[in-house]
Structure 1
Amino acid sequence: MSGEQRTVVVIGGGVAGLATAALLAADGHDVELVEKNATPGGRAGSWEQDGFRFDTGPSWWLMPEVFDHFFRLMGTTTAEQLELHRLDPGYRVFFEGHPDPLDVAADEAGNRALFESVEPGAGDALGAYLASAREVYDLSVQQFLYTSFDSAAAYAGRRILANSPRLAGLLTRSLEKHVADRFDDRRLQQVLGYPAVFLGSSPDRAPSMYHLMSWLDLADGVRYPAGGFYRLVEAMARLAEAHGVRIRTSTTATAITTTERRRSGVGDRRRAVVTGVTVEDASGSRTLPADLVVGAADLHHVETRLLPDALQTYPRTWWDKAVSGPGAVLAYLGVEGEVPELAHHSLFFTRDWRTNFDAVFEAPTRMPDPASLYVCRPSATDPTVAPPGHENLFVLVPSPPDPTLGRGGVDGAGDAVVEQAADRAIDLVARWAGVPDLAERVVVRRTVGPQDFVTDVNAWSGGALGPAHVLRQSAFFRAGNRSKKVDGLYYAGSSTVPGIGLPMCLISAELVLKRVRGDRSVGPSVEPAVPVPTPGRP
């Protein structure tokens, strides 16, 4: 408990917003959450049609201990809330120019054997690579992820000082070079480089510190929540409401209200203090009073649309210099008949994927063609997401973060660039995976384009993920989670520390909790010896 009860308004009902609201309510605060859409979830949404149920966003369950920690802070466990399945294979990878895909195993031993079968000596090299990845991952969890970088311990703790030469090398060398120095086979290089995409970057742009990601998928394994990822959103909403959070959907925040603040000392730059959030819903406009406001929506939107220029910590000029992660063209496909050629997760890598990444990130940008892409087939694991005798496919094509590429639509009704990219992706999957009649078997089709991310979740520049994890937007270089101009205004979500992905959003929520408590420690919060009681739980 943080002591004084505060009235809190959380803007945005995605995973970060729900987690922040739930944690603050469990800590004794009076919390209201406003979400502009009809249902919570944000990017982690759900769409249903004709017996198919599609997760509209995240689909990889990695870093399970982060979820476990969050649920324990909430007085429950992951196992009580969700049923997780470990995937084996973790995923399948198709390569341009190679007739046979590689099945990435569910554990390190299987993957060492896989790498050895591709390149003599690569099995032992992978063992060393993953040992390093685990060490850096553990260091990151203890020093870099669960901190707002508001204390000296985050920069100069004993572990940091002991590892500083190594960290310097990992931060200044690209992931691409780090991998290429250890493995010769292009396929293995691509398997180890691809996790940069989870971070909104590319192997040649992401620091090699992020080789830690390979420990997650190649050793710790990939999981899936039965019923789909929206089950996580539903569980978090239940817990939040059980602790008293009032979740108001179809309620749009239009302004953060403030009052002038007296300066309290030298160096105090905050000019105002929050007083509430003005919202609009079906009944009209009103202001919700608040002692604290948490902007858990896209940070660009919160700063540039909900605050006046003089109170913006991250004004438009800041965003003009920032680097967005990729956009995406998505296709939700209901397919008649089975598609056993695809695993639960399948990746398709073009031979020259550097050209793919340059098309997405370098001006002038363009849709890559051919494009490396990702396909999720949750019906391989979960029969509830598709009618009997059908498959559920989610196709993601990385695109430039450019809203002018257009919107998607149902049954081919999206803008031309989006629909053409989806058509090319379906054709590529059909040819590489050996499913020649795939397009003819599609009975449900919906596409999503970069403009949809702007409309649906107020995404900066139409990005699908958030600001990219290039060096100057990683760790303490990333946007902070507390306003420098407005007292009582905090931020959570993929735009701020620690970064992109569901686990990072959960951690960002905990960082707000620590800020409110005045807890400047590094590392995860201490879990209560006696679990926090969940109202209504036996």
Structure 2
Amino acid sequence: MSTSDPRAPIASASDPRTAVVIGGGISGLATAALLARDGYQVDLVEAREELGGRAGSWERDGFRFDTGPSWYLMPEVFDHFFRLLGTSSAEQLDLRPLDPGYRVLFEGYEEPLDLHASAARNADAFEEIEPGAGRRLAEYLDSAGNTYDLALKHFLYTSFTSLRGFLDPAVITRAPRLLALLAEPLERFVARRFRDPRLRQVLGYPAVFLGSSPDRTPSMYHLMSALDLTGGVQYPQGGFATLIDAVVRLAEREGVRLHTGTRATRILTAPSAAERGTRAQGPGALRHPQRLRRPEVQGAEVRTADGGHRTLRADVVVATADLHHVETALLPRPLQTYPEPWWRRRTSGPGAVLVLLGVRGELPQLQHHTLLFTRDWHENFGAIREGRVPSPASSYVCRPSATDPSVAPPGHENLFVLVPVPSDPSLGHGGEDGTGSPAVERIADEAIARLAEQAGVPDLAERIVVRRTVGPAEFAEDLGAWRGSMLGPAHTLRQSAFFRAGNASRRVTGLLYAGSSTLPGIGLPMCLISAELIAKRLRGDRSSAPLPEPAARTATSSGVDA
């Protein structure tokens, strides 16, 4: 991958259709690619030397680890995004279906539960655990599928700037049902249908993907079970870094100038043209002076890797970095739409300790994805909310070497262990070979011991040949994550849909936001949609539908090299 010299000439603010994108995660890269496709001259600045943001990677001794997202869900969102750029998921990625999609190990139970791509097989598995649960799962998934389809058509691809989407007959007829789903927590919604605690945990776990817990997540999000329990889970061969590489290629193809090692230090603004005209004409010259006095964005000031400073002029700035950092560090207080007091009333998603392990020998006891659930979930989630590290803690284990031989040397396995913890940077940093902060390494040691016990691998610790940990302090310092959260603001009722932070500054014209902090929310598909919402805003498209895709190419058309 090549990056352009930040000192290279760029378009001035007087030229039409220029943009600066702050942040080189997937939302920033996708936004830059879409805007360049629409004719903008785009400069993207990324503070770190590598692109990808939370979707990072790390290599050592022949092991290659994803250090962020590892679930490929909502494939139709990826398909649509790639088609907007004249290509396809099939051209860009080597996707492999996982079946089972994942395995669950429950504290206190010997038998694991494997979840498949087939809804019928999952219903049979539920039925074996609880008589009648198979039929109820089929009904549950039917509701989840209908809710997901409605969300995809009316609520995900909108910035909620128009009521038109809410006036659709499909939404109006389902309004009472939707309001009920928003009002009832997911935990209660599931408990009314299933008695066995294992089944309740399987159906409540999607709340963790949303940075929340089942008792605080609206049951609207039961729609997520339509993703993994009916359509299955996929994996891009080579790891999720290949997804980032694909979007980088497309952005460069569209003409985006990528500047790594270039940190945005200030968003530049100036009085609006209307205000300048008002001053020239005298008081009362304009009918709505308050509306027209809003400053206009002028670009961004950046610091390069050698310590130099540059001013990148543009008439649009899209900040895709952590919204708390953008608002409180890059703008003066009078121009902040979301100042520090606003954040004090918000709920952060959990932090995480990541444990990257290279292991000698095979681990057939684990699937590609394995979840380890504690018996007392309320204590687990309650401890995190109260700022305590739960013990024992539920955890997630990814074993990509089960699918992808390129991520580990022959005869070895690659494990990524994620332990949700409080979003508290004071827990410290991680490190290689046990050199992280004491708190982080203790959490890692306990997670390894618990995995060894529950999965039946008693010699796991002795077989580890590569070990690296990552703590909440890295999320805060390397990614600018609010409170060191691994995901962003939790999807509670007050932080979902139209209650989530908007994607346009109310104080600065031409300043827009994308990424997991804003609409529509957390996760790779949501970040791709957030990029599309920016393109829609700048086109003046206030619909709730995805952007129209270009006409399909002929069989002889050439695509981008995958």
Shorter-chain TM-score bucket reads over 0.9
1:275 to 298, 305, 324: 298
Q: After superposition, where does 1:121-160 map in structure 2 within 5 Å?
A: 121-160=132-171
* 1:19 matched residue in structure 2: 30
Is residue 242–residue 534 contact of structure 1 (8 Å, CA) maintained in 2? Answer: no
Q: 1:209 pairs with 210, 220, 229, which one? A: 220
Structure-2 residue corresponding to 1:40:
51
Partner of residue 317 from structure 2, selected from 290, 293, 300: 293
Residue identity matched to 1:420: R
Q: What secondary structure does 1:232 align onto?
A: helix
Among residues 465, 479, 492, which one is paired with 2:514 in the alignment? 492
Distance 1:510 1:268 in 2: 27
Aligned to 2:12: none
Shift of 1:446: 0.6
Between the aligned partners of 2:421 and 2:558, the Cα distance in structure 1 is 42
TM-score, normalised relative to structure 2: 0.93
Alpha-carbon deviations, 1:14-58, whole Å to 9, x = none?
010000000001111101100011110000001000000000000
Matches within 5 A, 1:139-538: 139-261=150-272, 262=274, 266=288, 268=291, 271-283=294-306, 284-361=308-385, 363=386, 365-529=387-551
Q: Is the 8 A contact 1:270 1:487 kept in 2?
A: no
Change (3 A) 1:530 1:88: closer
CA–CA distance in 2 between the matches of 1:184 and 1:342?
Answer: 27
Indicate the percent of aligned positions where both proteins have the same amino acid.
Answer: 63
Cα contact 2:91–2:559 (8 A) shared by 1: no
Structure 1, unaligned runs of 5 or more: none
Measure, in 1, the Cα distance between the counterparts of 2:391 and 2:267: 43
Q: Which residue, out of 25, 38, 56, partners 2:67?
A: 56
Contact 1:345 1:377 in 2 (8 A): yes
| Shift of residue 489, structure 1, vs aligned partner | 0.4
Q: Relative to 1, partners in 2 of residues 1:7 and 1:534: Cα closer, same or farther, differing over 3 Å?
A: farther
Unaligned ranges ≥5, structure 2: 1-14, 276-285
Q: Distance in 2 between matches of 1:125 and 1:382?
A: 35
Tell me the C-alpha RMSD between the 2 structures: 1.5
Amino acid across the alignment from 1:134: G
Distance in 2, Cα, partners of 1:443 & 1:285:
43
Question: 1:388 corresponds to which letter in structure 2?
Answer: P
> Are the structure 2 counterparts of residues 265 and 423 from structure 1 closer, same or farther at C-alpha, using a change threshold of 3 Å?
farther
How big is the shift at 1:535? 8.5
Alignment-mate amino acid for residue 79 of structure 1? A
Report if aligned partners of 1:269, 1:484 keep a CA contact under 8 Å in 2: no
Name the aligned partner's letter for residue 305 of structure 2. Answer: A
Give the total of aligned pairs: 533
Q: Shift in Å at residue 154 of structure 1?
A: 3.2
Secondary structure at 1:145 match in 2: coil
Secondary structure, aligned partner of 1:476? helix
**1:270 Cα deviation (Å)?**
6.1
In the TM superposition, what is the alpha-carbon distance from 1:105 to its structure 2 partner? 1.1
Q: Pick the aligned partner of 1:6 from 5, 12, 17.
A: 17
For 2:397 and 2:82, the matched residues in 1 are separated by: 29
Separation (CA, whole Å) in 1 of partners of 2:168 and 2:258 = 40
Q: Is the contact between residue 22 and residue 240 of structure 1 (CA under 8 Å) also seen in structure 2? A: yes
- Opposite residue 268 of structure 2, the aligned amino acid is T
1:145-202 deviation line (CA, Å, top 9, x unaligned): 0000000123333222111110111001010000000011110000000000000000
Q: Measure, in 2, the Cα distance between the counterparts of 1:106 and 1:30.
A: 43
Q: CA deviation at 1:525?
A: 1.1
CA contact (8 A) 2:271 2:293 kept: no
- State the Cα deviation string for residues 470-489 of structure 1 (Å, max 9, x = none): 00000000000000000000
Kept in 2, the 8 Å contact 1:75–1:534? The answer is: no
CA deviation string 1:105-134 (max 9, x = no partner)? 122111111111111111110000000000
Aligned to 1:68: 79
Answer with 1 or 2: which has the greater Rg: 2
CA offset at residue 219 of structure 1? 0.3
Q: TM-score, normalised by structure 1?
A: 0.97
